[in-house]
């Protein structure tokens, strides 16, 4: 390509080489230093003043810290205590040859989406600018489970990172990756209703509105334990537990799932359930009901129980009761209402979710009422709260389908930075101290963000049926949790990232002490900054999940920064417990998040060996460094240019062809 461009340039100019051509010739004969490459990059990207490039001091210091810490980790291997096996990923983009081979596994060119096309960018868009550097090498849109299996097998054999995207609502952007394959389940939209068995079969590419539309058309009284936000994908919701407006009556989403079809890391298409005649498959079924998305395989479809609303007219009572907290009298009434709410037993048919947020410059405390029954009965039950005179009360009878339309949630068109943190509180935990803390935090968030962002704190109400299931019956450990809380902060400008994330940490510092064991969180409100995430999400069930992961995915093929890792060998457990992390931010994150991926040294085969571009086997530290170079940016508010030197890109950049250079 370079010679073609040079030839064309020479033909268009006089016999005497133009300065530009002479410079390019010199560039090819004497490859530039990294600093020159970075200067060229900055010259064509003047609108990105905060970019961190490989020649910068900050980049070099970070790289040295990573190498230093990896050397420290490697000493453990030299000492004979075991080897740290990184995930079998290849650093960099997929080659042309690999793309051709992937295309051969599919039925149509339209199923392979490549960078630079509108379909590709639509497929990888999540709406969160915090992760807009994630650019997979290709998006595969399969039509069948067999195609999924073929692509999974190919990626595993060729050590290509693969992640799965359904609704794209992962708060941490874990459905995407750098340079690998994303499986987009867009075409898996089937919903089959079995009225006789009261079972609904849902394909994994659906969002909840697809399901609710199908149920409404069949019978307006039909409901399933699904998400209130209708744009959320059914897969992630269900695999992470699934807290619903009807969970107090019928349990979590995972408590209603009777069967799953999944593609494993080995490329097998399995149908699993509690009655399957294979203990390992039973264990896999256990793990996938609450073990989180993207850990054990690609969910293809699942069967869940069908329920009906209690009202004979197929209606529920739904609506807000809100207090204007900018009014001092209303604020005191709201606090009293929260205290009364916290100290009272409520029926299973009633869900009261709460949210604190600013609207039109005023802070509001709002309770959203969802009652599975008649409006008059609902009002009778709410009487102890209504005496505190909400500023707004608008609870009405309507069909459940209308409720989910009202709570539609965000679409992919929303283009903002955002981050989420979560907490799970037990019964009676919403004491006045918690209410006052939340009000103070929201006022501080408003001062921080002004008109350039927004924040809210909410909880979803659990209890009754969700608490009747044993803590180890599914991976969802925090069964005694009644209030599943979430703090979400969003901002418009890159420069606000550091302060916004710091404020999220302050929220956790002040609210986590009230959570179960001071740690409990919800994996579906995933938080990329939680260090002790295995216990926060899974509690004492994590070790069991690791053992199942080791059987079904021993090389950790299905991997992301907070994925469940294979079981830690006993000879390393005491070492890991006593391990003191480095002061380096990058390695501290690795020590707390990725160190649990330590597994016994395995006999590598050509299918599992990690290699570099020269087919030389990578050492453990080298592969680990490659992984963290893919995922870790020490300053998320800055754009890190992690690409290797590419003479063609430099040529395009210098010649002004920014479209191709990017």
How far, in Å, are 116, 118, 205 from residue 167 at the CA level?
22, 18, 8
The domain 315-537: what is its CATH number? 3.40.462.20
Q: pTM of the predicted model, to two decimals?
A: 0.75
pLDDT of 353 over the 50 cut = yes
Nearest to 86 by CA among 631, 578, 642: 631
* Inter-residue long-range contacts of 44-47, CB under 8 Å, 24+ positions, other chains counted: 44/653, 44/654, 44/656, 44/658, 44/661
CA angle 360, 363, 364 (to 5 degrees): 100
pLDDT of 392 over the 80 cut = yes
Tokens 């204007």 appear where?
324
Residue 31: band (very low, low, confident or very high) from pLDDT cuts 50, 70, 90: low
* Residue 68: CB atoms within 10 Å: 13
Residue 20: band (very low, low, confident or very high) from pLDDT cuts 50, 70, 90: low
Tokens 């069948």 appear where?
144
pLDDT of 544 over the 60 cut = yes
Domain positions in the chain are 2-54+646-661, 74-84+568-640, 315-537
Comparing 91-100, 202-211, 313-322, the range with the smallest average pLDDT is 91-100
Q: What pLDDT score was predicted for residue 461?
A: 97
pLDDT digits (tens, 9 = 90+) for 460-504: 999 999 999 999 999 999 999 999 999 999 998 878 888 898 899
């Amino acid at each position: 390509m370079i010679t073609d461009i040079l030839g064309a340039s020479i033909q268009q100019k006089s016999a005497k080489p133009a300065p530009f051509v002479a410079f390019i010739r010199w560039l090819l004969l004497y490859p530039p230093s990294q600093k020159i490459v970075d200067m060229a990059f900055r010259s064509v990207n003047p609108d990105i003043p905060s970019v961190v490039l490989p020649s910068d001091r900050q980049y070099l210091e970070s790289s040295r810290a990573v190498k230093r810490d990896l050397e420290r980790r490697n000493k453990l291997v030299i000492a004979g205590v075991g080897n740290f096996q990184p995930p079998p990923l290849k650093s960099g983009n997929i080659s042309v040859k690999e793309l051709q081979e992937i295309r051969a596994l599919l039925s149509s060119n339209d199923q392979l989406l490549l960078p630079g096309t509108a379909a590709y960018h639509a497929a990888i868009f999540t709406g969160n600018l915090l992760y807009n550097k994630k650019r997979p090498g290709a998006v595969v849109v399969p039509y069948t489970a067999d195609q999924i299996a073929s692509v999974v097998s190919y990626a595993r054999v060729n050590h290509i990172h693969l992640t799965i995207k359904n609704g794209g609502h992962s708060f941490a952007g874990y459905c995407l990756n750098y340079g690998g394959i994303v499986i987009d389940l867009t075409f898996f939209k089937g919903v089959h209703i079995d009225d006789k068995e009261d079972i609904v079969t849902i394909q994994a590419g659906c969002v909840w509105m697809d399901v609710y539309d199908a149920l409404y058309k069949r019978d307006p009284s039909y409901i399933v334990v699904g998400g209130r936000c209708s744009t959320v994908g059914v897969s992630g919701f269900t695999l992470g537990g699934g807290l619903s407006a009807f969970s107090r009556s019928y349990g979590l989403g995972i408590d209603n799932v009777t069967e799953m079809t999944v593609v494993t890391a080995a490329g097998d298409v399995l149908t699993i359930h509690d009655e399957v005649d294979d203990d390992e498959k039973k264990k896999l079924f256990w793990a996938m009901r609450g073990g989180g998305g993207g850990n054990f395989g690609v969910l293809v479809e699942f069967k869940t129980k069908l329920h009906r609303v209690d009202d004979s007219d197929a209606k529920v009572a739904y609506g807000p009761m809100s207090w204007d907290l900018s009014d001092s009298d209303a604020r005191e009434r709201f606090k009293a209402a929260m205290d009364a709410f916290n100290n009272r037993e409520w029926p299973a048919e009633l869900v009261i979710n709460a949210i604190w947020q600013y609207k039109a410059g005023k802070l509001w405390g709002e309770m959203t009422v969802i009652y599975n029954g008649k409006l008059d009965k609902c009002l009778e039950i709410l009487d102890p709260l209504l005496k505190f005179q909400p500023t707004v009360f608008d609870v009405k009878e309507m069909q459940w389908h209308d409720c989910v339309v009202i709570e539609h949630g965000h679409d992919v068109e929303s283009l903002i930075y955002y981050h989420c943190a979560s907490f799970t509180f037990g019964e009676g935990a919403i004491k006045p101290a918690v209410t006052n803390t939340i009000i103070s935090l929201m006022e501080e968030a408003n001062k921080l963000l002004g008109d350039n962002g927004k924040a809210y704190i909410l909880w979803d109400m659990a209890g009754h049926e969700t608490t009747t299931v044993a803590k180890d019956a599914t991976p969802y450990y925090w069964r005694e949790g009644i209030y599943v809380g979430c703090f979400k902060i969003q901002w418009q400008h890159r420069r606000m990232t550091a302060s916004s994330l710091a404020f999220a940490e302050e929220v956790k510092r002040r609210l986590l002490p009230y959570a179960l064991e001071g740690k409990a969180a919800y994996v579906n409100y995933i938080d990329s900054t939680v260090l002790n995430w295995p216990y926060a999400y899974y509690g004492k069930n994590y070790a069991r999940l690791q053992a199942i992961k080791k059987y079904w995915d021993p090389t950790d093929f299905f991997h992301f920064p907070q994925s469940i890792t294979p079981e830690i060998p006993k000879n390393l457990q005491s070492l890991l417990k006593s391990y003191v992390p480095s002061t380096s931010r990058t390695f501290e994150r690795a020590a707390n998040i990725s160190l649990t991926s330590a597994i016994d040294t395995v006999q590598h085969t050509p299918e599992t060996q990690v290699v570099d571009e020269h087919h030389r086997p990578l050492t453990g530290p080298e592969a680990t460094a490659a992984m963290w170079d893919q995922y870790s940016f020490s300053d998320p508010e800055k754009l890190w240019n992690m690409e290797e030197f590419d003479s063609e890109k430099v040529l395009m950049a210098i010649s002004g062809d920014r479209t191709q250079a990017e």
